[in-house]
Each structure stands twice: as C-alpha cells, then as structure tokens.
A = this chain, B = another copy of it.
Amino acid sequence: MNDLLFTPGPVAVPQPVLDELAKPIIHHRTKAFQAIFADLNRQLQQLFGTTGPVLSIAGSGTTSYEAAQLCLATPGSTVLSIAGGKFGERWQDIYDVYAPHLNLTNIKINHDWGTPAPLDEIKAALDEHDNVSAIAVVHSETSTATATDIQAIAELTRNHPTALLIVDGITSVGAFPCPMDDWGIDCLVTGSQKAMMLPPGLGYVGLGPRALARLDAIDHDLPAYNLDLRKWVKAHAKDDVPFTPPVSLIRAQHVALKLILEGEGQLAGQHQRTQSLAAATRAALQAADLKLISSSPSDSVTGAYYPDGITDAARASIRDAFGAHLAGGQDGRGAKWKGQIFRISHMGDVDPPKTRTALDAILQTFKSPQHDTALAAFDNGFSEPA
C-alpha cells in the first residue's frame, strides 16, 4: 500500500496527472509540445495573477529562487533577506554566496520561528537604506507553517526607489491568494511538488515589469549560464525554453493546472477548499489541546508541537499503522524543531475524508482524551459537511 502523503512537498499527485507522465515522450521542438507549453504559460499567468512571463525552469524550487536572487541583485547594492524558518535562512545563505561576487551587503532580518516577517523592521531597513536592490521574503514558511502578509510588504517596497520584492511562494501559489500584479510583487517563485500538484523537478519564476526592466538593464558579468534569466525570458517570448525542458513534467503540469483552474469554483474554489481544510485541521488540533507552532498559520500546512513525551517515533508509528505520512520538524539557525513538532499538508491530492483519517491516526497515537471532540471540531469546521 502506498502512504497517503501529508508532507508539505512532495505531495500526493492526482491520478490524471500521474497518467499523463506515462504517455510516450514527445519532442519539445514540435507544434504539439509548443501548443501545450503556450497554454501552460497562459495557465501560469492566471495562477500567478500576472500579465508578465512565468518561466518554467528544470530543477527544484531552490534553483528557481536562486536564479531570481542572483539575476535581480544590483552589484554594489544592499539586499534584505528575511528569515523566520529554514527556507528564509536558505535565501539568506544564497545572498551570502553571491555577496563577494556582486559586492552585495546582505542585511538579514531574523524573526522568531512561527511568527510572520516583521513589517516594522522591514520598513525601518527600507527607510534606512536607499540602495536596496532586492528583498527576499517567504510567503508561506513551510518549516514553521507560517504565513506572512506579503501585500503589506509589497506596499512598503513600492515606496522604495529601487527595491524589488522577490517572494518565495513555494507553498502559497495555488494554495491561497498571492496575486502578483494586484499586490505589486516583482518576482514570485514556486516549485512543482507543492500546491502545483506535480512531482518535484520544476520551478517557476514570475516576473513583473520592474523585474523585467532590471534584467534588461544588466550590464555586469552575471555568474550564471543556465540560471541567467535573460535567456529564459527571451525564449519565453516565443513560448520556448533555452534548454531541453522536462517534457513529461511540463505536460503533466498542464493537466494539473487544468484540474485547478477549471475545477469546481476554479482557482478561487481551490483556495477556498485549502483554506477550509486548514481551518478545520487547526480547530481539531486545538480541540485536542495541541499547541500550534505558528502565531500566523499558513493555510497550506499546519504544524503542532508533539504532546509531552512524544517524538518522531510517534510519527513513524502513524505511518506504519495508518499509512499517513506526516512531516516532522526541521533544524535551522533560528530553532531546532527536529523531534519537536509534526506538520500536515493541505496541498496536493488531499481532501476532508483523507485529512480526517490522518487526524484520527494522530489522535489515536497520541492517546488523546479529546479524540472524539477533536474530530467533531474538524467536521464542524466546514461550512459544507466533510
């Protein structure tokens, strides 16, 4: 039996998407592939809420975010990198890697794990430094199941003469709203194995007009070949890619986005279902007296501390006994959460009955005295019955 995946990436992939992966390979320089890719590009624009290009880049979400950080940083400038979890810390590390090559000053704003990015500190840093070329911030910090108010940060950024806002939307895009153009996000990145409902292997980079202008104006030696976004933007204008693309994943992404964009309630329906599932899950865990790890919970993943005396072994036994694969905690500079927490994803091929099964397994394993109350809280958490 295959495990039900409740990990926040990779996620369970719907069967029609898996089936597409098994189709014979088509060549990428054919009208058949180009028609699919052109349509995928339109789907991605709809998903990202932008009229700008959304690039599809082979690799992990990290590859794509690195490309954005690297290509949008102005040499000699200041960059702001905001971290309250493992992924924000990764983007800080990436600026550190390129700082000596691009003469960057990397100002790191660190906030407590489980809290959203601090608007006041970001505003102060933007006010203090007029040479900020980019700010890297996480919309949904997967390691802490925490959402940050990107719209507010975008407003701050718009008051700065040069700062481009680069948003890690890896566990937000497709799960809850992050409209690039409406909010004024300059660059939005996600990965395939999250709310995009695909296996890992593709990343996406959406670029707004200011980001495109920044790329156009590059007159320095960029230390990148494959990740030089100018190549990708140029090819994208012809619905093409500069290097052989993962044709199977591209075709499957086209099918997965059809499920999202043409499913019940379309994109708003998908957001509503994710939000509803997250809210009901939080209600259940809280009814069971489990403490959430976040003061600003993300709707794509929910995290809670283990009850006293229980560690990752409990999570393993849930997997073995119930086939529900939950995620554990991760260690970073700001916190050590391995063995301390569990996380349950609301992305991919999950639904209320499956999530209820996972919660039932958790509550049984933790021998929760509130087992029945918690499941009732889950059931009542939906406007429509689960």
Contacts and interface: CB of A to CB of B under 8 A. Distances in A.
Interface of A: 2-3, 5, 7, 9-13, 18-19, 21-28, 30, 58-63, 66, 93-94, 97-98, 100-101, 191, 193, 199-201, 221-226, 228, 243-249, 325
A228 B93 CA distance: 13
Contacts of A247: 10, 199-200
A170 to B, nearest CB: 10
How many copies of the chain does the oligomer comprise?
2
A79 to B, nearest CB: 14
A62 B59 CA distance: 12
Given A24-B2, A325-B27, A201 B58 contact: yes
Q: Considering the complex of A and B, which 3 residue pairs feature the smallest CB-CB distances, nearest first?
A: A201-B246, A223-B223, A22-B22
Contacts of A224: 97, 223
A222 B101 CA distance: 9
Nearest to A101: B223
A358 to B, nearest CB: 14
Contact of A248 (B19, B21, B94): B21
Contact of A200 (B22, B23, B246): B246
Contact of A244 (B3, B27, B200, B223): B200
A291 B314 CA distance: 68
Contacts of A248: 21, 199-201
Contacts of A66: 225-226
24 contacts: A2-B24, A3-B26, A7-B27, A9-B244, A10-B25, A10-B28, A21-B248, A22-B22, A25-B199, A27-B325, A28-B200, A60-B243, A63-B243, A66-B225, A66-B226, A97-B221, A97-B225, A101-B101, A101-B221, A199-B246, A199-B249, A200-B248, A201-B248, A223-B223
Contacts of A12: 24-25
B25 A244 contact: no
Nearest to A9: B244
B24 A21 contact: no
A174 to B, nearest CB: 16
Contacts of A249: 199, 201, 246
Contacts of A60: 58, 226, 243-245
Contacts of A7: 27
B58 A223 contact: no
A147 to B, nearest CB: 21
Given A62-B226, A62-B243, 5 more contacts: A5-B27, A10-B247, A27-B325, A60-B226, A199-B248
A229 to B, nearest CB: 14
B27 A2 contact: no
B58 A225 contact: no
A223 to B, nearest CB: 4
A5 B27 CA distance: 8
A60 B97 CA distance: 23
A58 B62 CA distance: 11
A148 to B, nearest CB: 22
A24 B28 contact: no
B2 A58 contact: no
A13 B24 contact: yes
A379 B58 CA distance: 41
B2 A200 contact: no
B27 A18 contact: no
A34 to B, nearest CB: 14
A193 B244 contact: yes
A329 to B, nearest CB: 12
A10 B97 contact: no
Nearest to A251: B199
